Amino acid sequence: DNSIDEAMAGYCDSIQVILNEDGSCSIEDNGRGIPVDKHKKTGKSALETVMTVLHAGGKFGDGGYKVSGGLHGVGVSVVNALSEKVIAEVYRDGKIHMQEYKRGDAGGALKVVGDTKKRGTLITFYPDDKIFDTTEFDFQTIANRLRQQAYLTKGVEISLLEKSTGRKYRFYFEGGIKSYVQHLNKNKDSVGGVVYIEKEVDEGVVEVALQYNNSFQETIYTFANNIHTVEGGMHLTGFKTALTRTINSYARSQELLKEKDGNLTADDVREGLTAVVSVKLGDPQFEGQTKSKLGNAEMRTAVESVFGEALNEFLEENPIDGRAMLGKCLLAARARMAARAARDTVIRKGALEGMTLPGKLADCSSKNAADSEIFIVEGDSAGGSAKQGRDRDIQAILPLRGKILNVEQARLDRILANNEVKNLIIALGVGIGETFDIERLRYHKIVIMTDADVDGAHIRTLLLTLFYRYFKPLIEGGFVYIAQPPLYKIAQGKKIHYAYVEEEKDTYLKSLGKDAKYSIQRYKGLGEMNPDQLWDTTMDPVSRSMLQVTIDDAERADTVFDTLMGAEVPPRKKFIQAYAKKVKNLDI
């Protein structure tokens, strides 16, 4: 973040991140170098002050950064405090200045250790294993973060090297967020060209890029001073307002919307939209410690004005693209009206105070959602075992017949026509689309329980696609789980052991010794277990093991769902070829 601040200020165009073999991480930039002269207030060098004193970052001093991200001016001092050791090298005024720190404190004086023609800063830190459970760096997570920063800071080269494996990336995007949008849309059929605007205004800098595609989901990422504002904020509000108003105005000027027609809604104009909104401003006001929402009201007006004008100009100058984009929005409006009729039918059928629940649902007696669980089970056979083996007070069972619809390739009206999806929506009680209300959730544990074969994995994937695309708050709230039924039953007379993974089976068999007599059964389906076995191994809250579904990287998750479940075949083939050798349990 400090290096990116230097880049945004125009002093740095190269940043290197190296994951060293000894477990440390080095970050080097060719900026001005952290100052090394004496700090007036602390009496220490500016470097030591920045490294050891909270809120001493560049943005808090006079003449610091005009625009900066970072973490409240505490970033590098917090990294220092959470590290077993940090080595700081500054290349400034022809000298190499170096100082070491141990667990947040200076381990010695700042000293000059040589001459150099370079300029910049090199920080190497060793995460403290007394603080962190794991001190290993995740290469792919870091790569994704650096790629994003390179898109947001065009013209800056960011490289990543993992020395132990030799893996490396180099990110450099002259097109900035325009390239970012093209990257996000790479596996989709685009509709129209990329709309792009960057403009300096009194409030700061507004940069917006967008392009439509043939999918039914919207993907909008917003940033303020390169910080990902996950919850949006004023800049997002300004963008959405300008988009809806400008598209409607253009549709009426082209007479594609008649006087009798209602306006396109915000949802209509955002279906299949990929957009990145990035603003840079001198005094960002964030809501909450995590900086997830921008609160500066002036940025709403700035984005609305700058983007609205740019979009209108694009539509006027590119009539073919304009009509393609409008066609997409008008189709979304027609589908919305069809979906509303279908959704009303679903609501009338089932969601009236939960009185008319699906016939296949074996509900629990508890009305306390916090205690209640619903198991979504593959097939009537497993559903029967689960119904008999469950705790009827808190566990509900909903059997699914066959594979549900792949929602990645379907609009809401078609989704609501699918009986299995319809039953699930009614059972959960939260509604879908514009009627979604998480407060009405009937179960705080939603457990996907499928067979341990290829069909089971496919059904699980289809369900996860449905939850990710239409019930994402349920995943974000930690309500969605995946059951972990055993893969093997190993019997020695009356003694039975269940193994949940291959390694556990192998370890257990070794422990029995070479001459041991036993029988081993590989479970393919949940229906192969009797109700007691299913309860003991998979459903009993005391002894079961479950995986909680989480979203660690929304952009990566979005790309994977699009690649694996979308309409385009080539990206899927490429994905399979790339990862085929990593398959552990191949079921043919």
391 belongs to the catalytic site: no
- For position 564, which CATH number holds? 3.40.50.670
Residues 161 and 208 in one domain: no
Pick the catalytic residue: 84, 453, 504, 555? 453
Mean pLDDT of 74-94: 86
Secondary structure (H, E, C), 36-82: CCECCCCCCEHHHHHHHCCCCCHHHCCCCCCCCCCCCCCHHHHHHHC
pLDDT at 56: 56
Cα–Cα distances in Å, from 403 out to 456, 461, 462, 549?
Answer: 9, 10, 8, 20
| Annotated catalytic residue within 6, 89, 271, 451 | 451
| C-alpha pair distances (Å), 174 with each of 8, 381, 447 | 14, 57, 45
Catalytic residue among 455, 476, 504, 555: 455
- Please state the pTM of the whole predicted model: 0.74
Q: What percent of the chain has pLDDT over 70?
A: 93
Q: Is 529 within a domain?
A: no
Which residue do the tokens 């393609």 mark? 324
Selecting among 373, 378, 408, 536, the annotated active-site residue is 378
Answer positive or negative: Cα dihedral of 323, 324, 327, 332.
Answer: negative
Longest CA–CA span in the chain (Å) reads: 86
Does 241 have pLDDT greater than 90?
A: yes
Domain that holds residue 23: 2-171
| Mean pLDDT, residues 223-228 taken together | 92
Condensed to tens digits (0 to 9), the pLDDT of residues 8-63 reads 888 999 999 999 999 999 999 999 999 998 888 878 888 988 888 875 555 434 44
Task: Determine the pLDDT at residue 457.
Answer: 87
Same domain for 294 and 393, yes or no, is: no
Residues 531-551, mean pLDDT to the nearest whole number: 92
In this prediction, residue 73 carries a pLDDT of: 47
438 and 565 both lie in a single domain: yes
Provide the strand spans (E) within 7-47. Answer: 14-19, 25-29
At residue 225, does pLDDT exceed 60?
A: yes
Q: Is residue 506 in some structural domain?
A: no
Please tell me the predicted confidence (pLDDT) of residue 382.
81
Between CA 522 and CA 489 the distance in angstroms is 7
Q: Of the candidates 171, 200, 215, which is a domain's last residue?
A: 171
Q: Are residues 12 and 134 in the same domain?
A: yes
| Element containing residue 575 per DSSP (H, E) | helix 569-579
Average pLDDT of span 314-324:
95
pLDDT at 473 over 80: yes
Same domain, 313 and 362: no
Give me the CATH number covering residue 263: 3.30.230.10
For residues 425 and 288, membership in a common domain is answered with no
Supply the CATH number for residue 49's domain: 3.30.565.10
Select the more confidently predicted residue: 297 or 62: 297
Residue 297 lies in a domain: yes
Residue 514 pLDDT exceeds 70: yes
- 287 and 309 in a single domain? The answer is yes
pLDDT tens across 69-82, in order?
544 445 678 888 88
Banded pLDDT at 535 (limits 50, 70, 90):
very high
Mean pLDDT confidence for 418-429: 91
**Is position 453 annotated as part of the catalytic site?**
yes
Q: CA-CA distance, 363 to 535, in Å (whole number)?
A: 17
How confident is the prediction for the chain on average, in pLDDT? 89
Confidence of residue 346 (pLDDT cuts 50, 70, 90): low
Burial category of 557 from C-beta neighbours within 10 Å (exposed 0-12, middle 13-18, buried 19 and up): middle
Quick check: 489 pLDDT over 80? yes
Domain count, the chain: 3
531 has a pLDDT exceeding 90:
yes
Same domain, 134 and 227: no
Output the CA–CA distances (angstroms, integers) from residue 172 to 29, 125, 322, 487, in the order listed.
Answer: 15, 25, 30, 46
Q: Give the Cβ contact number of residue 348 at 10 Å.
A: 10
Write down the pLDDT at residue 133. 86
